[in-house]
Amino acid sequence: MSSRTIDVLGTLYLLRNSNVLVVGAGPVGLVLANELARYGLSYRIVEKIPTRSTWSKALMITSRTMSILEDVGLHEEILSKGTVAEGLDFHFNHRPIASVTMNSNTDPTIRYPFPFVLPQPDVEEAFENVLNKRGGKIEREAEVVKVDPLKDYVEVTLETGEVVRAKYVVGCDGAHSFVRHSQPEWKFEGRPVNVLWAQCDGTITDQRVHTARAAGFVGITGSCPPILHS
């Protein structure tokens, strides 16, 4: 057994018989809730928005991530709905400038040699379906508005007025995490990436866009409609 496995089991042992409040039902919160459900631990998962977001956001699932999802039983629906991405073609000012192949099938130990593409809402739906099968349920329209760490538990206030007492609160509430900001002494231990970029959801009808390859469009002005020239 690897030391990492022992760490995870040790942590799960400590969590046993204690209740966990998972804040946020994005991919991270849903993976955590699924793991807690899989190990039979007591938890709740609360989410502020009433329905799943429709934006594609985190849509690339790397082969390593897919292997981890398989280990924790979250891969089947993603495999059945996702699209394999064999590579990525970059275009600058309407001209192709570079191609990257994302195939790693020269290594027989890699179970999924290509990344998969599946929009984040579909990933969340897949994780939620497994959670439901494991007896769990996302509590929607339950925004966390106050977090008070007390001596023996954390007191969390929901926007509904409900006060939840949990042994552990896990902030899975995204990049602007309310949970993290609720405790001024908790610092963001990372660094911002000062790059301006955008992602839009749309349908590309140009026949020359390969369906098994992702395409990146870059322009000097920042605006670059995906019109290709061969």
Ligand X SMILES: Cc1cc2nc3c(=O)[nH]c(=O)nc-3n(C[C@H](O)[C@H](O)[C@H](O)COP(=O)(O)OP(=O)(O)OC[C@H]3O[C@@H](n4cnc5c(N)ncnc54)[C@H](O)[C@@H]3O)c2cc1C
Which residues of this chain interact with ligand X, rule CB under 6 A?
Answer: 23-29, 46-49, 57-60, 120, 143-144, 172-174, 178, 199
Using the minimum distance from each CB to ligand X, give the nearer residue, 15 or 118.
118
CA distance 93 to 131: 44
Q: Minimal distance in Å, beta carbon 59 to ligand X?
A: 5
Using the minimum distance from each CB to ligand X, give the nearer residue, 10 or 149.
149
Q: Minimal distance in Å, beta carbon 120 to ligand X?
A: 6
Bridge-based pairing of strands 168-171 and 87-92 is unpaired
* Residue closest to ligand X when measured from CB atoms: 26
Using the minimum distance from each CB to ligand X, give the nearer residue, 16 or 132.
132
Using the minimum distance from each CB to ligand X, give the nearer residue, 16 or 64.
64
Using the minimum distance from each CB to ligand X, give the nearer residue, 42 or 177.
177
- Beta carbons within 10 angstroms of residue 159's beta carbon: 13
Q: Minimal distance in Å, beta carbon 6 to ligand X?
A: 26
